[in-house]
Structure 1
Amino acid sequence: MPLEESPFRPAWWLPGPHAQTLWPHFFRRPPRVATTPERLELDDGDFIDLAHGPGPAGAPRVLLLHGLEGSLDSQYARGMMATLARYGLRSVFMHWRGCSGEPNRLARSYHSGATDDIARVAAHLRDTEPATPLAAIGWSLGGNALLKWLGETGAASPLTAAAAISAPFRLERAAARMGRGFSRLYQWRLVADLRASLEAKRRLRGLDLPRPPRGGFRAFDDAVTAPLHGFRDANDYYARASSRPWLDRIAVPTRILHARDDPFMDPGAIPQARELAPAVILELAHRGGHVGFVEGALPGRAGYYAERRIPAWLAGELSGKTPPARR
């Protein structure tokens, strides 16, 4: 079935979407995971920083794609890496341009539909280990970009399986939702982070970059994201970068985990069963917040459902599989 009711049960002490969303950011202590850095130089003169996680030599690899202004320090990153290693899988964490602690070299950065960078990193990983199966997991913005790329590539995808957590699906609805109620606090923080990153790059690189007006996501995307990445305006960006129109073209096994109460978007953004390709399973939870999915009887014994569910599913999908043939 393309739509699946999730067995996730939220921690009783985190009853609402905002508690589920915020608790991991403020109170979680992710496990320590040793990583090996790699800088991938790009043909356009820019770079992407990767972090290779632990795991058995020759084991399948899982590319990890973080959310807006995230990094290896995001609360979910090392937890997922540690769990993947326990399942015998190796992780490769990809920082979007400018998110690894050093501003990228070009005026362009990253955005919700930046599938070109995913393709470049995936090709690099396949080139270095052509006989090793490759999967991917994306959170939020990273999940949207991953789903869009899977739809663009269809049966030609180099991935064996993929998963997306709390992907926005329709960017215009997400931008509108973030401008209402308590969600405006998330918008304020994320836009402030985007502005700070833009200013840091302006100072370090000496680039002539747009100066965003005051306002939320739409104002920032209209003034900065769209012109820097070849879109006419925010509306054009939202329409062309959203993943929902691509879901029926995905050809590799893909699991999407999403909560109906996600405060970063409204329920109308959630796709219908008829919009999903046969290879896609949309697991819907009634609650869970945005990239939350916190479970457990006590705060000191919190668990993270996504990190329990997704690696187990991926391990089953990758078991005994060989990479797709090169095209």
Structure 2
Amino acid sequence: MGAEEPPVPVPVLSPLPLLPPLLAAATTALLGYYWARVPRRPLLAAGPRLRAFLEQHCPAVGETFYPTPWCFEGRLQTVLGALLLARPPVSYRSEALRAPDGGQLILDWAEDADSNWHPDPHACPTVLLIPGLTGSSQAAYLLRLVHRASRAGYRSVVLNHRGCRGEELLTPRTFCASNTEDLETAIAHINRRYPQAPLLAVGVSLGGWDPDASAASLEQPLNNLLFNQRLTASLRCLISRHRAAIREKVDVEHVLQARTIREFDKRYTAQAFGYRSCREYYQAASPARWLHRVRVPVLCLNASDDPFSPLHAIPVEAARHLPHVALLLTAHGGHLGFLEGLCPRPGSYMERLFAQFISAVFEHREELQQLEGDGAVGQGAA
């Protein structure tokens, strides 16, 4: 037998040389999709007179929104918006108020030299900010809004939700999306202190347009993992911290076993605020049912991909026919994200819109007063 021929070596290709072309192809595809599908002008749904006012004095409502290309998806916007945007330093002076039911409210007044330039401090416009679920004046998104208002020369004050600022809870009741008694108490107090100053209120999150739809959206597997469990844990911590006061009204141990916001609302919120069921509470807390009764100009910002507020629950068509409600709907932005630019700017689209809107309201009050109704002007952000 002849000698066997040695095997011919088979060259092994290293995957490393293939990576740059693959990455380049993936980047090109992503950028192509981004430029073709992502940047959009927001949809502005409002009555003709309020719409005209916003288009004239708030340029952001008509500008194309360019979300950060590498994180334009709603959940990424939500998570990275909380992680990447700055926490500007804000000093507060705290004031305790006693509510009619015996509860305690904490108002945090921002102390900033930029807001002291007004020639008549008693007439300096005031921006009242209301945090989202379990939020307080120390929440990063509120610090940025307070900073913006101060830079514009306006007075800022934050109404902290009961028990969320570290103070003692004096009653079994904390806060919920349907109850406005604490807000009414705060507004009355601010108006007594500064009767000559115009007042604008800004609310963030807390319930969305339809709490039942919001709860269902947050119960989807990925949303539940990213958001629902974390928020429910914060609510449980609030209950645990104030269990001495709360146990008079509910079974605290049962509440502390809640694993979703819906379970928490069923076991605590609905009972503490006198509702027969969680469903009844959610129906009462849905602002879409009361839009037709709004008598002051209100601007609401929402993203179509907000995991907390599903698109089908946003009352776009209703807003088109209401004289005092404007709904600005972006294609992307997530929940309190609205990151824009290749590298997220120091601020977000929401903050730019906020700054433009408060200046428009305070500097062009005569135009707004031509709209039917009176009272404070409000802004909401979901």
**Same fold (TM > 0.5):** yes
Shift, 1:264, TM fit? 1.0
User: How many Å separate the matches in 2 of 1:283 and 1:41?
Assistant: 36
In the alignment, which residue of structure 1 is the partner of 2:318? 274
The two structures, once aligned, show a CA RMSD in angstroms of 2.2
Whole-Å separation in 1 of the counterparts to 2:154 and 2:333: 26
Tell me the number of residue pairs that the alignment of Structure 1 and Structure 2 aligns: 300
* Contact 1:259 1:285 (8 Å CA) reproduced: yes
Question: Which runs of no fewer than 5 residues in structure 1 stay unpaired?
Answer: 145-167
Shift of the alpha carbon at 1:15?
Answer: 1.9
The answer to which of 43-52 and 196-205 deviates more is: 196-205
In 2, the alpha carbon distance for the partners of 1:227 and 1:206 equals 12
1:177 aligns with 2:217: yes
Counterpart check, 1:314 vs 2:358? yes
Q: Does the CA contact (< 8 Å) of 1:103 and 1:197 recur in 2? A: no
**Contact 2:173–2:246 at 8 Å: present in 1 too?**
no
> What secondary structure sits across from 1:262 in the alignment?
coil
| TM-score under structure 2 length normalisation | 0.74
Say which of 324, 333, 338 aligns to 1:288: 333
Taking the aligned partners of 2:362 and 2:287, their CA distance within structure 1 comes to: 24
CA contact (8 A) 2:301 2:327 kept: yes
Gaps of 5+ in 2: 1-43, 47-60, 377-382
2:21 matched to which residue of 1? Answer: none
How far off its partner does 1:206 sit? 6.7
How many angstroms apart in 1 are the aligned matches of 2:294 and 2:153? 26
Asked if residue 199 in structure 1 is aligned to residue 277 in structure 2, the reply is no
- Structure 1 residues 52 and 232: alpha-carbon distance in aligned structure 2, compared to 1, 3 A threshold: same
Closer/same/farther in 2, CA of residues 306 and 49 from structure 1, 3 Å limit:
same
Matches within 5 A, 1:64-213: 64-141=129-206, 168-185=208-225, 186-203=227-244, 207=248, 209-210=250-251, 211-212=254-255, 213=257
Match of 1:262 in 2: 306
- AA aligned to 1:182 is L
**In 1, Cα distance between the equivalents of 2:220 and 2:302?**
20
Q: Which runs of 4+ in 1 moved over 4 A?
A: 3-6, 203-208, 322-326
1:52-67 correspondence runs (5 A):
52-53=109-110, 54=112, 55-56=115-116, 57=121, 58-67=123-132
- The aligned residue for residue 245 of structure 1 is 289
Deviation at 1:114, TM superposition (A): 1.6
* CA distance in 2 between partners of 1:5 and 1:269 (Å): 23
Asked whether the 8 Å contact 2:45–2:316 carries over to 1, the reply is no
Contact 1:201 1:207 in 2 (8 A): no
- Counterparts of 1:117 and 1:85 in 2: how far apart (Å)? 24
Q: Secondary structure at the match of 2:97?
A: strand
Larger deviation, residues 172-181 vs 276-285: 276-285
Residues 226-248 of structure 1: per-residue CA shift (max 9 Å, x gap) = 01001111000000111111112
Q: Residue 69 of structure 2: SS of its match in structure 1? A: coil
Q: Which residue is 1:162 aligned to?
A: none
Cα distance change on mapping 1:325 and 1:117 into 2, 3 Å? closer
Deviation at 1:29, TM superposition (A): 2.6
- Looking at structure 2, the residues matched to 319 and 30 of structure 1 have their Cα atoms a distance apart, in angstroms, of 28
CA gap of 1:134–1:188, structure 2 versus 1, over 3 A, is: same
Pick one of 80, 83, 88 that aligns with 1:26.
83
CA-CA distance at 1:47 after TM superposition: 0.8
Q: In 2, are the aligned partners of 1:9 and 1:295 still within 8 Å (CA)? A: yes
Is the CA contact 1:295–1:302 (under 8 Å) kept in the aligned structure 2?
A: no
Quick one: percent identity of the two aligned structures? 31
Q: Distance in 1 between matches of 2:107 and 2:233?
A: 25
- The answer as to whether partners of 2:232 and 2:260 remain within 8 angstroms in 1 is yes
Q: Deviations over 1:122-180 (max 9, x none)?
A: 01101111111000111101xx5xxxxxxxxxxxxxxxxxxxxxxx1011100111100
Partner of 1:16: 73
2:337 is equivalent to residue 297 of structure 1: no
Indicate the residue corresponding to 1:155 in structure 2. none
| Equivalence for 1:230 | 274
